[in-house]
Structure 1
Amino acid sequence: MRIDEEPATVSGGLRRLAPLALALALLLSACAGDQTGAILAPAAITVPPEAPRVTGRERNTSDADHAKLVASFGGEYQAPSTLRMITEVTDRLVRATERPDETYNVTLLDSPVINAFALPNGRLYVTRGLLALATDTSEIAAVLAHEIAHVTLRHASARSELALRSQLVSRVVADVLNDPETGAKLQDQSRFAIARFSREQELEADGIGVRTLARAGYDPFGAGRFLTALNRTIAMKTGTGLAGEPDMLATHPGTAERITLVTRAARLIGAPGLGVDERARYLAAIDGIAYGDNPTDGIVRGRRFLHPGLGIAFEVPDGFTIENTRSAVLGTTGEGSRRLLFDQVDSQVGQGLDEVLKATWNDAIETGSIQNRMVAGHPAVTALSRGKEWTFRLAAIRVGERTFRMIMAAKGGTDPDPAFRRWTESLAGVSAGEAGALRPLRIQIVQAAAADSAEDLARRMAVPDRALDRFLVLNGLERGARLRAGQSYKLVAE
């Protein structure tokens, strides 16, 4: 949770954030990605619509935009050996494309989100979250080949041109022909056209990426393995065991569809066993990289959340699993019948906390439910709101000059007040000593002993829940798989 974030965008009664600028959404190809959410990048970024060739690894005219983009993803992640390996893989892939004279500049991003994307000027971005998920060089090469395909195919330029043309048509109809209603309909239809176009581009980049993989000497089946790991990760995050399909405006096809396509493309090239995966080299390069939240943006330790920058901490009730996102801390129980949200909201000077709740909540607040109270020594206002399917407990708490919301929802008509009170009363400060002792979790590479099982190594994982599932996904293993003695595997360690 970033200190400077706006209120979170979630379903239910919370007021929603304004959408990102259309031009940025078209030009940022967030492709590998953690498809449970959109890329949160600053709307002020502008990127040239053309895709110039980069003749060397020099800096180009979009340095300011590059800096803003990197900052929006937590800054640049410093891992020289990892960056060197990624750059070597990128150069090898580029030599296997139809434009081998182009050169790309790779930046590692200090973000736990699983994502990679490319800009038309030849800049490639890879998050450390994605690096942690991949298990060998062919998998990371598959992601990079996909992004390189977007640049060489000029996809961003095509999307930008389509968007501008659609905007122009709707504006002419609305302004020149004095028919704003038809103009609005045309613009709405263009959104669907752009979404379809984007999905087609993703599938095209997948197919070309697999062929580039093979020409570069990598295992073309690495693309399918990585997408499978991504799909399993999404499924764990949804808590349903099934990854959700995209809606009609999603710019990405469903991950399952992409797995089918890249696997078919790899089989057209040859049987499994082609190319190299360089597993040992890759794992050595990512040994020790940070995993999960950066403590400066808040960190989850079991059921406890701590944010040194905000100077606050709290503990969620039993049964909740929490996740720290860019704009909020989100939590849910295993069966999904209770959920919670913690975020920071803007408030005006002199604005009462009851007014803050009303201003940031769309549903009706039950008459007479607003109460003034103290939470951990801080002034607070709590309230009750009942929707059609959920019952909400709300709190606005003022800590110094900041105002926070704590919201708990229970499915049906049951009032979640007992658990809500335990949660709000756990709010506390973070001491300087505790803040200084916080360190990010890290990927640790270990070799399996002859007697080790997946369950044995999973017990060494420093994760809050589902240790075995996380170990299997991180290492590309299925349940019941036997470990190979002497082979390296990824753990999450403190």
Structure 2
Amino acid sequence: MEHAGRREEGTGRRLWAAPALVCAALTLSACGNIGNVGRFEQAPPTAAAAPAKPNRVVQQTPNSEREHERILSAYGGAYDDPKLEALISKTVDQLVAASERPDQAYKVTILNSGAVNAFALPTGQLYVTRGLIALASDTSELSSVLSHEMAHVLAKHAAMREDQARQAAVVTRVVTDMSSDPDLTALALAKTKLTMASFSRQQEFEADGIGVGIAARAHFDPYGAARFLTAMERNAALKVGKTALDPRAQDFTSSHPATPERISNAQTTARQYSSPENNERDRETYLAAIDNIVYGEDPSEGFVRGRRFLHPKLGFTFTAPDNFTLDNTAQAVIGVREGGSQAMRFDVVRVPAEQSLGDYLNSGWMEGVEKSSTEDLNINGFPAASATAHGDQWQFKVYALRFGSDVYRFIFAAKQKSTESERNARETVNSFRRLTLDEIQAARPLRIKVINVQPGDTVESLSHRMAGVDHPAERFRVLNGLDSHAQVKPRDRVKIVVD
């Protein structure tokens, strides 16, 4: 969670739309089916041909510069790692040479975020998070991500989406202005939304197909895409568990296809280029490059350890209730209880010093607040206030707490108000306190360490060496691409998380 001085959370009236908000905060991007791959196919360069010098100068536009700054702000800035940058640069050069447009320039920025994500701007600016890099197990998996994003640029998907969005906006405006029948209006708008979602899904399918082809012609293992998509799905399952708010559950209007469908399509495309056996994955080079990479959150922006959130830079901590999983996003700390019946949000807002916290809670930023429920409090020496609010499907308990010049909000949501949900909210807020100097000095990031498996080592024994992560055995398997029955062998090189 970023400090208010760097990024302030908006204070719109529907700040908490509980199910959608939690899903959006925890959802990983998923992408899918193969479009017209043939028009992007190109024979690999012959041995006699002199390799073209890659074009590294990306043509900036005012829009791309604004987007670049927005992306850096949202994802913790750029992550500086010369070893990784060299590996990525070499990988991109190979992919560009095998693509339909070897003259297209690309620039890759590694983002300082533990999220698993990658995206591209139409200019050729590509972005990958260090969380994605830590999850990948070899260069071929990374190449599948980069080639997928390059495919979006080559296919001009962003421009096509803009055209489609403009058409949808016109349809929406015409339907709204001309129709007096609310049912017909709703039906027309729903059809427009479905058309946009289908269009976006088809683009993801097409980018997958194009990307696998580029990677294969660049002599990377074409099955890297399917392996990495599998790792993404397993990582998402670990992050939220099997709850009603599971972000992997794709509805019909989702803009990205479900991951299992992408895996199947990626495997089908890869078979057009080779069989699964004996493809070069370049695992050793990759593991050497990612050794010691920061894993998870950057402590300077706060981090989660189990149920506890700590922010050494701002000097506070709190602990979430039992059975809650916390996720630290750029805008807020989101917590979801196993099963999805309760959720919480913690963020920072600007409240004038002269405005009381009780008045702030009743100022209209959230609908359904019971003014009569407002209560002034003192929480561990900090002035605070609480109130109750009601929604259509959720019941809320809201707290505002003044810490120095900042005001922090705890928003707790429960599908049914109960003694337990009230106790969870109260105990979490009461756990908010200052960090000690020793705690601040001890705060350091988790890192990926690459080690050799020794005789007698097992998945279970190695997972016990993992620090600061939940589900250590399952996470060890996901990080190392091991299925539920696979075991390690002496001299294998594996990733563990250390502090």
Instruction: Write out per-residue CA displacement over residues 101-126 of structure 1, whole angstroms, 9 at most, x where no aligned residue.
Output: 22311111111111111111111111
Structure 1 residues 59 and 121, CA gap change in structure 2 (3 angstroms)? closer
Unaligned runs of 5+ in 1: 20-32, 40-53
Q: Which of 276, 281, 286 is the aligned partner of 1:282?
A: 286
Find the counterpart in structure 2 of residue 491 from structure 1. Answer: 496
d(CA) in 2 for partners of 1:412 and 1:69? 37
Find the counterpart in structure 1 of residue 37 from structure 2. Answer: none
Is 1:303 matched with 2:307? yes
How big is the shift at 1:238? 2.6
Q: Aligned to 2:202, what secondary structure does the other structure show?
A: helix
Structure 1 residues 179 and 425, CA gap change in structure 2 (3 angstroms)? closer
Stretch of structure 1 that moved more, 450-459 or 272-281: 272-281
How big is the shift at 1:97? 1.2
Matches within 5 A, 1:215-234: 215-234=217-236
Structure 1 residues 171 and 240, CA gap change in structure 2 (3 angstroms)? closer
Q: Which of 92, 116, 119 is the aligned partner of 1:117?
A: 119
Is 1:421 matched with 2:426? yes
Counterpart of 1:469 in structure 2: which amino acid? E
Whether the 8 Å CA contact 1:353–1:380 is kept in 2: the answer is yes
Q: Which of 317, 340, 343 is the aligned partner of 1:339?
A: 343
Matches within 5 A, 1:205-220: 205-220=207-222
Find the counterpart in structure 1 of residue 27 from structure 2. Answer: 36
How big is the shift at 1:489? 0.6
Is 1:327 matched with 2:334? no
d(CA) in 2 for partners of 1:472 and 1:263? 21
Q: Aligned to 1:147, what secondary structure does the other structure show?
A: helix
Structure 1 residues 67 and 180, CA gap change in structure 2 (3 angstroms)? farther
Whether the 8 Å CA contact 2:14–2:365 is kept in 1: the answer is no
Structure 1 residues 243 and 311, CA gap change in structure 2 (3 angstroms)? closer
Find the counterpart in structure 2 of residue 104 from structure 1. Answer: 106
Q: Aligned to 1:383, what secondary structure does the other structure show?
A: strand
Counterpart of 1:72 in structure 2: which amino acid? A
d(CA) in 2 for partners of 1:489 and 1:137? 15
Matches within 5 A, 1:44-59: 56-58=55-57
d(CA) in 2 for partners of 1:10 and 1:293? 27
Find the counterpart in structure 2 of residue 238 from structure 1. Answer: 240
Find the counterpart in structure 1 of residue 60 from structure 2. Answer: 61
d(CA) in 2 for partners of 1:270 and 1:64? 40
Instruction: Write out per-residue CA displacement over residues 371-411 of structure 1, whole angstroms, 9 at most, x where no aligned residue.
Output: 21101211111233455665433211122222111233444
TM-score after normalising by structure 2? 0.84
d(CA) in 2 for partners of 1:387 and 1:276? 55
Whether the 8 Å CA contact 2:57–2:105 is kept in 1: the answer is no
How big is the shift at 1:184? 9.4
Whether the 8 Å CA contact 1:118–1:148 is kept in 2: the answer is yes
d(CA) in 2 for partners of 1:281 and 1:9? 47
Structure 1 residues 34 and 184, CA gap change in structure 2 (3 angstroms)? closer
Matches within 5 A, 1:457-472: 457-472=462-477
Is 1:256 matched with 2:260? yes
How big is the shift at 1:433? 4.9
Q: Aligned to 2:166, what secondary structure does the other structure show?
A: helix
Is 1:379 matched with 2:383? yes
Structure 1 residues 15 and 259, CA gap change in structure 2 (3 angstroms)? closer
Identity of aligned residues (%): 40
Structure 1 residues 155 and 187, CA gap change in structure 2 (3 angstroms)? same
Q: Aligned to 1:269, what secondary structure does the other structure show?
A: coil
Instruction: Write out per-residue CA displacement over residues 64-122 of structure 1, whole angstroms, 9 at most, x where no aligned residue.
Output: 43344323321110011111101111110111111122231111111111111111111
Matches within 5 A, 1:78-227: 78-168=80-170, 189-227=191-229
Find the counterpart in structure 2 of residue 22 from structure 1. Answer: none
d(CA) in 2 for partners of 1:152 and 1:112? 28
Counterpart of 1:161 in structure 2: which amino acid? D
Whether the 8 Å CA contact 2:27–2:247 is kept in 1: the answer is no
Structure 1 residues 235 and 174, CA gap change in structure 2 (3 angstroms)? closer
Instruction: Write out per-residue CA displacement over residues 459-481 of structure 1, whole angstroms, 9 at most, x where no aligned residue.
Output: 11113421111111111111221
Unaligned runs of 5+ in 2: 31-52
Structure 1 residues 479 and 170, CA gap change in structure 2 (3 angstroms)? closer
Counterpart of 1:131 in structure 2: which amino acid? I
d(CA) in 2 for partners of 1:354 and 1:286? 49
Counterpart of 1:300 in structure 2: which amino acid? V
Whether the 8 Å CA contact 2:240–2:325 is kept in 1: the answer is no
d(CA) in 2 for partners of 1:126 and 1:461? 24
Whether the 8 Å CA contact 2:60–2:123 is kept in 1: the answer is no
Q: CA RMSD in A?
A: 3.3
TM-score after normalising by structure 1? 0.85
Stretch of structure 1 that moved more, 293-302 or 378-387: 378-387
Counterpart of 2:3 in structure 1: which amino acid? I
| Runs of 4 or more above 6 Å deviation | 8-13, 172-175, 177-188
How big is the shift at 1:251? 2.0
How big is the shift at 1:15? 6.0
Is 1:363 matched with 2:368? yes
How big is the shift at 1:55? 7.2
Is 1:444 matched with 2:444? no
Instruction: Write out per-residue CA displacement over residues 186-223 of structure 1, whole angstroms, 9 at most, x where no aligned residue.
Output: 67644432221111010011111112221111111111
d(CA) in 1 for partners of 2:132 and 2:383? 41
Whether the 8 Å CA contact 1:223–1:262 is kept in 2: the answer is yes
Q: Aligned to 1:444, what secondary structure does the other structure show?
A: strand
Counterpart of 1:121 in structure 2: which amino acid? T
Q: Aligned to 1:392, what secondary structure does the other structure show?
A: strand
Q: Figure out how many residues of one structure are paired with residues of the other and give that number.
A: 464
d(CA) in 2 for partners of 1:419 and 1:12? 23
Q: Aligned to 2:418, what secondary structure does the other structure show?
A: coil
Whether the 8 Å CA contact 1:91–1:103 is kept in 2: the answer is no
d(CA) in 2 for partners of 1:260 and 1:161? 30
d(CA) in 1 for partners of 2:70 and 2:386? 37
How big is the shift at 1:172? 6.9
Find the counterpart in structure 1 of residue 316 from structure 2. Answer: 312
How big is the shift at 1:321? 2.9
Counterpart of 1:3 in structure 2: which amino acid? H
d(CA) in 2 for partners of 1:13 and 1:91? 44
Structure 1 residues 174 and 387, CA gap change in structure 2 (3 angstroms)? closer
Find the counterpart in structure 2 of residue 43 from structure 1. Answer: none
d(CA) in 2 for partners of 1:95 and 1:345? 49
Give the structure, 1 or 2, with the largest relative contact order (CA under 8 Å, sep 6 or more).
2
